[in-house]
């Protein structure tokens, strides 16, 4: 198995970090981020599927990051480390170890977040009657949960 640092070097193909818009680091092995820095100022898509990440500490400020794939890792929380990604619109956290809705609260600061995949995460798996989550109209800060008795979950997403 390749380390994250080795895979990053391979994916760069001798390009400068500022010239890279997409990185696929899937299936490399690391419990924490290695080698990914804020020099990747033009990075728009980053895939870190099945890496083994346990922490997002040190996640770089990536001002143009639009899509982030973090599925099938070991993340419990730490989503506040994504605050330096103001353009983030799509986030896949499926298959992680997120245990409660409180862990998702830092996502409220991501004003452009439109798609959030939580398939296989404990908070969603326990909402057996939940059918869909509708974001309120643009400009509103209140989320509306469309479900039978799961509307109480909306309180966990005050900024979305």
| Predicted confidence (pLDDT) at residue 143 exceeds the cutoff of 60 | no
CB count within 10 Å of CB 82 equals 22
Could you give the number of structural domains in the chain?
2
What is the β-pairing status of strands 115-117 and 90-92?
parallel
Question: Are 23 and 60 within one domain?
Answer: yes
| Predicted confidence (pLDDT) at residue 123 exceeds the cutoff of 80 | no
Question: Are 117 and 67 within one domain?
Answer: yes
* Residue 20: per-residue pLDDT: 97
From CA 77, how far away is CA 96, in angstroms rounded?
9
Residue range of the domain that includes 50: 4-126
* Residue 120: per-residue pLDDT: 86
Question: Are 69 and 85 within one domain?
Answer: yes
pLDDT in tens, 35-63: 999 999 999 999 999 999 999 999 999 99
| Predicted confidence (pLDDT) at residue 145 exceeds the cutoff of 70 | no
Domain CATH number, residue 8: 3.80.10.10
Q: What average pLDDT does this structure show over 102-115?
A: 93
Question: Are 24 and 48 within one domain?
Answer: yes
The pLDDT mean for the chain works out to: 84
Of 145 and 49, the structure prediction assigns the larger pLDDT to: 49
Of 4 and 159, the structure prediction assigns the larger pLDDT to: 4
Question: Are 66 and 145 within one domain?
Answer: no
* Residue 99: per-residue pLDDT: 87
Q: Where are the alpha helices (DSSP H) in the chain?
A: 4-12, 122-125
| Predicted confidence (pLDDT) at residue 159 exceeds the cutoff of 80 | no
* Residue 132: per-residue pLDDT: 63
Three-state DSSP at 127 gives: coil
Question: Are 113 and 134 within one domain?
Answer: no
Question: Are 55 and 35 within one domain?
Answer: yes
Q: Are 36 and 57 spatial neighbours (Cβ–Cβ below 8 Å)?
A: no
Q: What average pLDDT does this structure show over 65-80?
A: 97
As a whole-number percent, the residues of the chain with pLDDT over 90 amount to: 69
Q: What average pLDDT does this structure show over 6-35?
A: 95
| Predicted confidence (pLDDT) at residue 140 exceeds the cutoff of 60 | no
Question: Are 142 and 95 within one domain?
Answer: no
């Amino acid at each position: 198995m390749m380390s994250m640092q080795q895979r990053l070097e391979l994916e760069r193909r001798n390009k400068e970090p500022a010239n890279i818009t997409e990185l696929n680091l899937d299936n490399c092995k690391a419990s924490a981020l290695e080698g990914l820095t804020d020099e990747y100022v033009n990075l728009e898509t980053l895939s870190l599927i099945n890496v083994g990440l346990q922490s997002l500490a040190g996640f770089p400020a990536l001002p143009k990051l639009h899509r982030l794939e973090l599925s099938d890792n070991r993340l419990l929380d730490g989503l506040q480390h994504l605050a330096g990604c103001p353009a983030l619109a799509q986030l896949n956290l499926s298959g992680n170890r997120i245990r409660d809705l409180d862990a998702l609260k830092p996502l409220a600061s991501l004003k452009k977040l439109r798609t959030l995949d939580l398939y296989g995460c404990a908070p969603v798996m326990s909402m057996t009657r939940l059918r869909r989550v509708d974001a309120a109209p643009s400009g509103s800060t209140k989320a509306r949960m469309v479900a039978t008795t799961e509307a109480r979950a909306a309180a966990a997403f005050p900024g979305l």
